[in-house]
Amino acid sequence: MEKRLLPVVGVGPCPPLIPRLSCVRKLFIATAHAISMPKCPECKRKIVSLEYRAYELRSGLMDRESKYSGLVSEDVLTDSIRYCCPACGHVIAVDEDSAIRFLRGQS
């Protein structure tokens, strides 16, 4: 019986440098076997990850030295979600399921 590992999907963290309304994260797919990498329809480059862009409400504390701590993502404006080509910024998908299907070569 052949042992096959399933793809792992993850979303990288947004850097907590400053509280802001927009946040960029990377959606990536890691597989144990080779798959044909999808290409951006705009710039034609091979894509291994997509940038996640959305407006979000973050809260936290700022001290006297303008350093932020305890930043928490409170909410995300769902209409603002975009998964984009990291090379040219072309919008590939507007929901996570479509983005995952694209990265897996199923779209």
Residue 13 has pLDDT above 50, yes or no: no
| Section 90-99 average pLDDT | 95
Mean pLDDT score of the chain: 77
Angle (CA) 50 9 59, round 5°: 70
pTM of the model: 0.60
Percent of the chain with pLDDT over 90: 56
Residue 95 has pLDDT above 80, yes or no: yes
Q: How confident is the model at residue 20 (pLDDT cuts 50, 70, 90)?
A: very low
Residue 103 has pLDDT above 80, yes or no: yes
Residues 6+ apart with CB under 8 A from 11: 25, 26, 27, 52
**Of residues 3, 8, 79, the one with CA closest to residue 49:** 8
